[in-house]
Amino acid sequence: MTTSTPTGRPKVNLTDPADLLTAIPYLLGFHPEDSLVVLGQRGPDRRQQGIVLRVDLPPPGLELDQARDLAGRLALTGHTGATVAVVGGGSPNPAGRPPRRRFIRRLEASLAEFGIPLLHSLWAPRIAADVRWGCYREKTCRGVLPDPRDSVVAAIVTGEGHITRKSREEVERLFDPGPPETLARRAGLLTEMSEPPWADADVVGAGIAEVNAALARAASGDLAVTDAQAVRLAWAISLVEVRGACMLTAAPADSPLARTAEDLWLILARELPEPERAEALALKAHASYIRGDLAITGMALERAREADPEHGLTDLLAKALNAMIPPSKVSEVVVRQRAEGTPEISLERPGGTA
């Protein structure tokens, strides 16, 4: 399993091991376990922060394969240096050396084949206060972690309203579908409908109005979704033009509209049955991608594939994610589409202001 986060987040002091380690949960959005976290660096002086990539630690026999894959991905995305941290992975040996040393050696060798130096390699059994950490190269490079909640990165991330979860599994649960009986009832209603639920001849306009109404409710704190609303919204976001308008809400990522819309897509991902919920999950993935949270993006895309294995937008976003296309490039597409589009398919802000 792989999760990643690009630039566009708080800067981390890559020269202070304790600072780097305590920042990891806030960069990922959750506390990793048995993971390798790669912090890429760019530029000739390697001072430009690149991607943050988390992968499950490989089982014996697959260490070289994973090392080569990671090195290739960093090379293809223009990284000129890397810092890595192993979280978990076992206990130190009797001499106090960190576990997974062979994997780190293979990763360093694989990176060197692309001319990418491994600048730092760290280990901690977990990210928490008073936990002892160490380095792979220098025996004297070790210490005790301060409370991660007191770090500068924690203050920035928390101040921006982001929640750091206790585990990846806790984040995954955000995408769990609603009660089976509710989803079965709504699936039945959708199956019985052969025509859109609006009498108006302007189906696209009616669909956009439906989403605008849902955004307004969400912005006011009304998160409940009735059967009738679920059916109408499922129809609305299945229309290509309406979905395109929905995607325009994702940029700029720090706007109230973008935050409200992303919250709505997650609500709909829980409230809609399969395969309709794939549309909401893809919109959530798209919004998270532009916001720079590729961990959430990957999770949403996994669930979208489960709901509809042939969903087009899901496939497109998955290819972009696998290719490590920066969120800024995805955001540029949204801005260009907004400039080329027509007002009729641009969602209004909640409350009716453009």
Q: Residue-wise pLDDT tens for the chain (354 aa)?
A: 544 444 445 566 656 899 999 999 988 889 999 999 999 998 888 888 888 889 999 998 899 999 999 999 899 888 999 999 999 999 999 888 999 999 999 999 999 999 999 999 999 999 999 999 999 998 889 999 999 988 888 878 776 667 788 888 888 899 999 999 999 999 999 999 988 898 877 899 999 999 999 999 998 999 999 999 999 999 999 999 999 999 999 988 888 889 999 999 999 999 999 999 999 999 999 999 998 888 889 999 999 999 999 999 999 999 998 887 888 888 888 878 777 764 444 555 444 443
Cα gap 351→220, rounded to integer Å: 10
Give the pLDDT score at 13. Answer: 61
* The pLDDT value given to residue 12: 63
173: exposed, middle or buried (Cβ count in 10 Å: 0-12, 13-18, 19+): exposed
pLDDT score for 351: 46
CA angle 88–92–93, rounded 5-degree value: 145
Domain ranges of the chain: 2-165, 176-345
The 3 state secondary structure assigned to the chain is CEEEECCCCCCCCCCCHHHHHHHHHHHHCECCCCEEEEEEEECCCCCEEEEEEEEECCCCCCHHHHHHHHHHHHHHCCCCEEEEEEECCCCCCCCCCCCCHHHHHHHHHHHHHCCCCEEEEEEECCCCCCCEEEECCCCCCEEECCCHHHCHHHHHHHHCCCCCECCHHHHHHHHCCCCHHHHHHHHHHHHHCCCCCCCCCCHHHHHHHHHHHHHHHHHCCCCCCCHHHHHHHHHHHHCHHHHHHHHHCCCCCCCHHHHHHHHHHHHHHHHCCCCCHHHHHHHHHHHHHHHCCHHHHHHHHHHHHHHCCCCHHHHHHHHHHHCCCCHHHHHHHHHHHHHHCCHHHCCCCCCCCC
Distance (Å, whole) CA 50 – CA 82: 9
> In terms of Cα–Cα distance, which of 201, 264, 200, 202 is closest to 230?
264
Token pair, residue 65, equals 């394969």
Closest CA to 291 of 245, 268, 260: 260
Gap between the Cα atoms of 76 and 237, Å rounded:
35
Whole-number pLDDT of residue 253:
85
